[in-house]
Amino acid sequence: MEALIVFDSTTDAIQAEQELLNAEFLVKVMPKPTSLQAGCGFCLRVAIGKTLDALEVLQHADILYSGVYLRNNKNKDNPYTKLNTREEIEAATKEHSILASCTSGGCGAKIGPGELRDILGKLPRDRGNDNLLIGFDASDDAAVYRIDEVHSLISTVDFFSPMVEDPRTFGRIAAANALSDVWAMGGTPLLALNLVCFPEAMDTFILGEILAGGAEKIMESGAVLGGGHSIYEKEPKYGLAVTGTVETKKLLRNNTPELGHKLILTKPLGVGIVLAAARGGVASSIAMEKAISQMEHLNRYAAEKLASYHVSACTDITGFGLLVHMLEMADEHVTLTLHSDALPLIAEAIDYADEYLLTAAGQRNRNFVHNRVDVSSLPFAIQELLFDPQTSGGLLIAAPSEEAESLLMDIHKEDPLAAIIGEVGPKKNQSIIFS
Partner 1 sequence: MKTIDMLGEPCPIPVISAKKALAEAGTDGVKVLVDNIVAVQNLEKMANGTGRAFSYVEESSNRYAVSILASDTVISEAVLGVASDATNEIDSDSAGNFVDTDHEEISVVNGAHSDGAVVLITANHLGEGAEELGKMLIKGFIFSLTEQSPLPQSVLFLNGGAHLTTQGANTVPDLQTLEEMGVEILTCGTCANYYNLSDSLAVGAITDMMGIVNRLTKASKVITI
Residue among 219 and 224 whose Cβ is closer to partner 1? 219
Among 227, 416, 426, 429, indicate the residue that binds partner 1 (CB under 8 A): 416
372 contacts 286 by C-beta, under 8 angstroms:
no
Q: Does 21 bind partner 1 (CB under 8 A)?
A: yes
Q: Does 13 bind partner 1 (CB under 8 A)?
A: yes
Q: Is 410 in the site for partner 1 (CB under 8 A)?
A: no
Q: Does 289 bind partner 1 (CB under 8 A)?
A: yes
Minimum distance, C-beta of residue 363 to partner 1, in the bound complex (Å): 5
- Give all strands of the β-sheet with 80-82 in edge-to-edge order: 28-31, 42-47, 2-6, 67-71, 80-82
Which runs of E-coded beta strand occur in 49-150?
Answer: 67-71, 80-82, 132-134, 143-146
- The binder of partner 1 chosen from 200, 231, 249, 356 (CB under 8 A): 356
Sign of CA dihedral 291, 295, 296, 300: positive
Q: Which residue spans within 148-261 are E strands per DSSP?
A: 151-160, 188-198, 224-232, 237-247
In this chain, which stretch among 90-98, 285-293, 329-337, 426-434 interacts with partner 1, using CB under 8 A? 285-293
Region of 61-69, 255-263, 280-288, 368-376 interacting with partner 1 (CB under 8 A):
280-288
Q: What is the dihedral of CA 245, 249, 255, 256, to 10 degrees?
A: -160
Measured between its terminal Cα atoms, the distance across the chain in Å is 47
Within 13 A of 130's CA, how many CA atoms are on the CB side? 2
Binding flag, residue 307, partner 1 (CB under 8 A):
no
| Strand residue runs (E) in 161-297 | 188-198, 224-232, 237-247, 262-265
Residue 64 or 150 with smaller CB distance to partner 1: 64
Q: Which is nearer to partner 1, 98 or 133 (CB)?
A: 98
Least separation in angstroms between residue 246's CB and partner 1 is 24
Q: Which one of 30, 150, 307, 342 is in contact with partner 1 (CB under 8 A)?
A: 30
The only residue of 5, 142, 329, 358 in contact with partner 1, by rule CB under 8 A: 358
Does residue 352 interact with partner 1 by CB under 8 A? yes
Residue 191 burial class via C-beta count within 10 angstroms: exposed 0-12, middle 13-18, buried 19 and up: middle
Of residues 92 through 131, those in contact with partner 1 by CB under 8 A are 103-104
Minimum gap (Å) between residue 279 Cβ and partner 1 = 7
Site pattern 310..349 for partner 1 (x: CB under 8 A)? -------------------------------------xx-
> 144: helix, coil or strand?
strand
Number of residues that bind partner 1 (CB under 8 A): 54
Write the CA distances from 140 to 74, 184, 236, 264, integer angstroms: 43, 9, 27, 18
Q: To the nearest whole angstrom, how small is the minimum distance from the Cβ of residue 351 to partner 1?
A: 5
Three-state DSSP at 13 gives helix
Residue among 6, 163, 276, 424 that touches partner 1 (CB under 8 A): 276
Catalytic residue among 40, 43, 102, 107: 107
Quick check: 357 and 319 in contact, CB under 8 A? no
How many Cα atoms occupy the beta-carbon half-sphere of 132 within 13 Å? 12
Q: Which of 64, 150, 219, 224 binds partner 1 (CB under 8 A)?
A: 219
- Minimum CB distance to partner 1 smaller for 316 or for 348: 348
Which of 17, 95, 140, 316 lies at the binding interface for partner 1 (CB under 8 A)?
17
Confirm or reject binding of residue 235 to partner 1 (CB under 8 A). no
Residue 71 and residue 2 in contact, taking contact as beta carbons nearer than 8 Å: yes
Bridge partners of 46, per DSSP, are 3
Helix, strand, coil percentages for the chain (3-state, nearest 5): 40, 25, 35
Q: Annotated catalytic, 107? A: yes
Among 84, 129, 204, 293, binds partner 1 (CB under 8 A): 293
Subset of residues 37 to 76 that bind partner 1, contact rule: CB under 8 A: 41-42
Give the Cα separation of 69 and 166 in Å (integer): 19
Minimum CB distance to partner 1, residue 336 (Å): 25
Rounded to the nearest 10 degrees, the angle between the axes of helix 347-354 and helix 380-387 is 110
- Binding residue for partner 1, selected from 48, 195, 210, 277, defined by CB under 8 A: 277
Distances in whole angstroms, Cα of residue 312 to Cα of each of 125, 262, 268, 376: 27, 10, 22, 30
Q: Which is nearer to partner 1, 224 or 286 (CB)?
A: 286
| Structure letter (DSSP) for residue 232 | E
Decide: is 90 part of the binding site for partner 1 (CB under 8 A): no
> Which residues are catalytic, by number?
107
Site residues, partner 1 (CB under 8 A)? 10, 13-14, 17, 21, 24, 26-31, 41-42, 103-104, 216-217, 219-220, 276-277, 279-280, 282-287, 289-290, 293-294, 296-297, 347-348, 351-352, 354-360, 363-364, 366-367, 380, 416-417
